[in-house]
Amino acid sequence: MFGIGPQELLIVGALVLLVFGPHGAAGMARELGRLVSGANRTFEEFKSELVPEKEIEEARRAVEEVRVEIVSAGHEGGEDSSRKKPSPREL
């Protein structure tokens, strides 16, 4: 995490306890948790506004329909039926 190892985190924690005391350190940890939670919530809201889940599902459905059409057109076109069917990742 940002190049900080467990020993450094332990030292920082001990310094925070020495400077602010147990009650101050607990309050700071609580506020940090609220900050991180709020940032997480804001990021998720932004992400959902950027690309709605409904649009993603519609795109997946359209891709699957096109894949099915391509595979069925290959069988109707008289291709060798012994050929391996392409997987979705190969298309």
pLDDT score for 83: 56
With beta carbons less than 8 A apart as the criterion, state whether 91 and 67 touch: yes
Cα–chain-centroid distance for residue 4?
24
pLDDT bracket for residue 91 (50, 70, 90): low
With beta carbons less than 8 A apart as the criterion, state whether 20 and 28 touch: yes
C-alpha closest to that of 29 among 8, 47, 12: 12
pLDDT score for 86: 64
The overall pTM is greater than 0.75: no
Q: Is 51 exposed, middle or buried (0-12, 13-18, 19+ CB in 10 A)?
A: exposed
pLDDT bracket for residue 9 (50, 70, 90): confident
